[in-house]
Amino acid sequence: MLKRTVILRKTKEQYLWGFVMRIGVTCFAVAALTVSLSSPAQASGITLTAAGIADGFTTSTFAVTNPGYNSCCDGPFGVAITNNGTVIVGTGAGTVYDFSDIDGQTPGTALHTTSVAPGGGQAYASVGGQAYGGINFTSFVQYNSDGSVNHVLSDVTATPFRGMWGDPTSGDIFSTSNEGLIRIDPLANGGLGAFTVINASINPDSVGPDGLAVSPNGTSLYVEFNGAINAVNSVTGAVTHTWGGFNSPDGAAVISGGAFDGYIIVNNNNGEIDLLNPATGGFIPIGNQATRGDFVAPDVSNGTLLLTYSDAVERLGIASGSIGGGPAAPEPSTLALFGIALGGFGLIRRRVAKKM
């Protein structure tokens, strides 16, 4: 009789736990539906190709700063994440916006708006929680989190050209300049900066250099010049590889993790976004935007890439991995989902245990 009672009790436990699992899954599904309905996706100006969709890329519009503009060069260029998590966006016309890092921004939603000397089509860079950039091709500066200029890096006597990227592994900034490709230590000389030339031959001319990115490990730079994307050793400055055939390449960034680990995103001036396989040199279009494409900047807080166009700053994500540096972070809605579901599991299990 005892044996029979134990068997029956075990059967009851199994049945109730199965019931708990079914209820938990139902809670999870309801939570997912609730979150998805309350957080609609922000429409994007980028149209993904069939290949881009199949490869797991996603897009949304971060900010429209120059609605209806379809030319060069008054729209957004430099983009950088500040130490308080906001995003500053510089425009060729000289206006700098400071936005919350949430999609769907407009000039009317800017936290701050600052007028500085025209950016003239220069990139920004983020490193060490600070934002840096160039002003009117004359000086390198550090920006405050509201987009105003904190101070000039006066000991960096080279003048900025277009491309710029912060290297989180060293805390340095790489930039194109009138003296070639340079490495900047922004904290040297009490914050006035210092620089070294790593390749004097990569100088401004009629075909570049333009966009610049740093690999996640800091060993390689990816620089657009001569109408191609070029890999450059970050220490010696030697060009180690060149990939051509693009329509009008500009900004670039490296994917970390997932199926496309090490692949390179290329933003073209004609609005096309390409996915480059550096091992084969082959690339495919994964998206298009109707206006001129230019620089890119990583949003390391969530593993997405911000791309500038004539009228807007768009966001590109990938289902597995991150783009431009930093780990891909779970969406807040996903974390909330798990919390709701796990909380439901715990509550139901405790109630079942009391009844047992």
What type of residue is 155?
D
Q: Pick the residue with more confidence: 146 or 337? A: 146
Which stretches does DSSP call E strand in 33-159? 46-48, 57-64, 76-81, 87-91, 95-99, 112-115, 124-127, 130-135, 139-143, 149-152
pLDDT at position 119: 56
Kindly write down the DSSP assignment for every residue of 116-134, as one continuous string: -S---S--EEEETTEEEEE
Helix (H) or strand (E) holding 31, with range, is helix 2-38
Kindly write down the DSSP assignment for every residue of 160-183, as one continuous string: EEEEEEEETTTTEEEEEETTEEEE
How many other CB atoms sit within 10 Å of the CB of residue 285? 17
Give the confidence band of 2 by pLDDT, cuts at 50, 70, 90: very low
How many other CB atoms sit within 10 Å of the CB of residue 161? 27
For 143-155, what is the mean pLDDT? Answer: 95
**Residue 225 pLDDT > 70, yes or no?**
yes
pLDDT at position 42: 59
Q: Which residues contact 174 (CB under 8 A, 6 or more apart)?
A: 164, 165, 167, 181, 182, 183, 184, 212, 214, 221, 234
**Residue 267 pLDDT > 60, yes or no?**
yes
pLDDT at position 326: 60
Give the confidence band of 3 by pLDDT, cuts at 50, 70, 90: very low
| DSSP helix/strand/coil, 53 | helix
pLDDT at position 118: 62
Instruction: Tell me the C-alpha distance between 269 and 289, whole Å.
Output: 10
pLDDT, mean over the chain: 84
pLDDT at position 161: 93
Global confidence as pTM: 0.81
pLDDT at position 173: 98
Q: What is the CA radius of gyration of the chain?
A: 24
Q: Where are the domains of the chain?
A: 2-37+335-355, 41-325
Nearest C-alpha neighbor of 140 from the set 182, 89, 88? 182
**Residue 48 pLDDT > 50, yes or no?**
yes
For 291-315, what is the mean pLDDT? Answer: 96
Looking at the chain, the whole-number percentage of residues with pLDDT higher than 90 is 72
How many other CB atoms sit within 10 Å of the CB of residue 207? 11
Give the confidence band of 272 by pLDDT, cuts at 50, 70, 90: very high
Domain spanning 41-325: CATH superfamily: TolB, C-terminal domain (2.120.10.30)
pLDDT at position 121: 77
